[in-house]
């Protein structure tokens, strides 16, 4: 018996029921998940819970604190007190922290919510700080970030300014202090 060789895909000899596409019936009670590969955020949540406990145990003794803002462990509101002996002494600043799903391998987004006149802070509250960009390490935590920003207040980097007017004014301490207080007391929150 000779079998004809046919290079083209001819399904005419295959019974109809064998080459139809079968679809599972749709179950309205089981909606499709939003992502084909859901992200397991459990390790990140556990890490953030530990950081929260650590911050709460320190009781804000270093002039920094932070707590989740609402229900999500990924969005926090932080507070830093201006360092003693700096032009920020006696002032308290509110910050927002948004932790990515791959934290601590990526840094959180941190912004000032309180107006802050500073060479390394722009009018929208964005912060130019190396550990929040290219010098980030997964060893850092929320407390490290807040302490670093607190330190940056008193020791800015005028060579890498986001606010060039503040950078120029930095060397004139009295005028600089006046601007810090003027911005702080004129508008408590940053325009977004």
Annotated active-site positions, please? 128
C-beta atoms surrounding 81 within 10 Å: 18
Tokens 């935590």, located at residue: 141
């Amino acid at each position: 018996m000779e079998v004809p060789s046919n290079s083209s895909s001819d399904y005419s000899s295959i019974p109809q029921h064998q080459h139809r596409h079968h679809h599972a019936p749709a179950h309205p009670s089981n909606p499709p998940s939003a992502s084909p590969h859901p992200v397991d955020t459990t390790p990140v949540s556990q890490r953030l819970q530990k950081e929260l406990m650590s911050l709460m145990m320190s009781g804000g003794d270093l002039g920094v604190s932070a707590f989740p803002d609402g229900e999500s462990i990924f969005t926090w509101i932080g507070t830093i007190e201006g360092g003693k002996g700096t032009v920020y002494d006696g002032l308290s600043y509110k910050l927002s922290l948004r932790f990515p799903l791959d934290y601590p391998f990526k840094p959180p987004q941190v912004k000032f919510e309180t107006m802050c006149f500073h060479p390394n802070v722009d009018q929208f509250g964005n912060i130019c700080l190396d550990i929040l960009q290219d010098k980030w390490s997964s060893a850092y935590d929320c407390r490290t970030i807040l302490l670093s920003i607190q330190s940056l207040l008193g020791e800015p980097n005028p060579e890498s300014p986001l606010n060039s007017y503040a950078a120029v004014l930095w060397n004139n301490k009295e005028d600089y202090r006046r601007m810090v207080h003027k911005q702080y007391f004129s508008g408590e929150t940053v325009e977004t």
